[in-house]
A and B are shown apart, each in its own frame.
Chain A
Amino acid sequence: MAGVAVSTTINGDAVEYLCQPDETLLDVLRDRLGLTGAKEGCGTGDCGACSVIVDGRLVCSCLVLGAEAEGRKIETIEGMAHGDQLHPLQQKFLEHAALQCGICTPGFLIAAKDLLEKNPSPTEEEIRFGLAGNLCRCTGYDKIVRAVQDAAQVMKGA
């Protein structure tokens, strides 16, 4: 197969792959690299289920071409926990039952991580605005907001 050869870094590991020029980063992650944490909800940048961080910027991986990842640093949900040690956000999502079906959860966790790294003490309004690019059809959002607030407290104390 002809394709675009890409060298990139994913969760700290050097990764190389071949992809088609019109293939999205989301498809590369899921179908070529077996990183199925990022989910495809809408495929058009509306739902945030495919959120990843590219060079420190939160993006929808469905709106990035796989070819664009050349030389970038990508963070996905698979890199969030350290071995068995969950990230405080993951822990608090469990404690607050901030998920039901779970499809939106990896995107919410990545977006919340990005939010707290840029703003460690967000107000409730800032959390709601900051996570407005992530849609959840189960929880009604309230439990997610509480979990992020609680995680922010824990992370500040750490």
Chain B
Amino acid sequence: MHERDGHYKQTLYNGRSDYDHQGETMRYIRPLSIEDAVGELAKAVGPAAILAGGSDLLVRMKGGFIEPELIVDIKRISGLADITQTADGFRIGAAVPCAVLGENKALRKAWPGVVEAANLIGSKQVQGRCTITGNLCNASPAADSVPALVAAGAKAVIAGPSGRRTIAVEAVPTGPGRTSLAKGEIIEAILLDKRPEHAGDAYLRFIPRTEMDIAVVSAGVNLTLDEKGAIKTARVALGAAAPTVLLVEEAGQVLIGSKLDEATLERLAKICAGACRPIDDKRGTIEFRRKVAGVLARRAAETAYKRAGGK
């Protein structure tokens, strides 16, 4: 903490001339097309950063954890600041702030779990800036929106020097702070499928206070039901339980065919607890995280089931 404070003072208060000099090695650009943004990132020689909401980037810059020579602000690129409803579902531009997700009625109705997870990130002030794409690319195992997106089967549309590709969101983070994106690649949007009838999702996290905190452990569950209320498809994801957000396929499997009876919920909790590979730290022990992962998965499954119209 001290080191971080020290650096911060150095960059900010060492006198305006040093500060100005440091700024001169950095370039800020605001491209209007994704092709220009990709081109600039691809030819960048030094460290480069993509800026959407900046709620992670500016903190890391201030702390001296990253000193980009190029900042590419993607907010003015056409389509990146919009949520569009297509025949296949929703396309959420990479620069859409999480507050806007919460204000979109259609999205809230279709994917309440994704929206509640996105709206848990930070304060009102942070909500006005932070994005789910940034949350994904920051690659924190505790990112709130990511377990919900993974459970939802969301996809990331990536633009890069060799064209576009679309991958599952769980394939983006590869470890804490690391992603599978290659040089010059930008996630331009997150895709969520159109919802069939009888579908619901939910996200829950444990924090020691009521809000404004980082998940100690979390769970996202996404279900679809048949006409009789039995679970037809299920995806379960855990956050802060391993170096990346975990898609627990076995936990989804165990729910299929059930109406969430007690025995099934017990098995779900047990599988989730077993799937965790958490760290032991001041925010939670391994034992605690395992246990709570199971409890949260259970409760999220019950909420998702109710939202899907199950009784």
**0 or 1 for each of A51-64: is its CB under 8 Å from B? (1 = yes):** 10010011110111
Contact present for A20 and B59 (CB under 8 Å): no
Give the number of residues in A that approach B within 8 Å (Cβ atoms).
37
Bound-complex Cα distance A141 to B54 (A): 28
Secondary structure at the B interface, as helix, strand, loop or mixed, is mixed
Bound-complex Cα distance A44 to B212 (A): 14
B279 within 8 A of A: no
B288 within 8 A of A: no
Contact present for A45 and B51 (CB under 8 Å): no
Contact present for B28 and A111 (CB under 8 Å): no
Chain B residue nearest to A63 (CB atoms) is B58
Contact present for A22 and B128 (CB under 8 Å): no
Which residues does chain A contribute within 8 Å of B212, judged by CB atoms? 132-133
B123 within 8 A of A: yes
Bound-complex Cα distance A137 to B30 (A): 39
Shortest CB-to-CB span from A126 to chain B, Å, is: 11
Bound-complex Cα distance A23 to B16 (A): 11
Shortest CB-to-CB span from A76 to chain B, Å, is: 14
A65 within 8 A of B: yes
A67 within 8 A of B: yes
Contact present for A21 and B27 (CB under 8 Å): yes
**0 or 1 for each of A103-123: is its CB under 8 Å from B? (1 = yes):** 000000001001100000000
Contact present for A65 and B54 (CB under 8 Å): yes
**0 or 1 for each of A68-87: is its CB under 8 Å from B? (1 = yes):** 10100000000000000000
Contact present for B125 and A111 (CB under 8 Å): yes
User: A132 contacts which of B30, B128, B129, B211 (Cβ < 8 Å)?
Assistant: B211
User: A68 contacts which of B20, B75, B124, B211 (Cβ < 8 Å)?
Assistant: B75
A1 within 8 A of B: yes
Between A and B, 28 residue pairs with Cβ closer than 8 Å are A2-B24, A3-B23, A20-B19, A21-B27, A22-B22, A22-B26, A22-B28, A23-B19, A43-B62, A44-B59, A44-B62, A45-B55, A45-B59, A45-B126, A48-B123, A57-B97, A59-B125, A59-B129, A63-B59, A63-B125, A64-B54, A64-B58, A64-B129, A65-B54, A65-B71, A70-B30, A131-B124, A133-B212
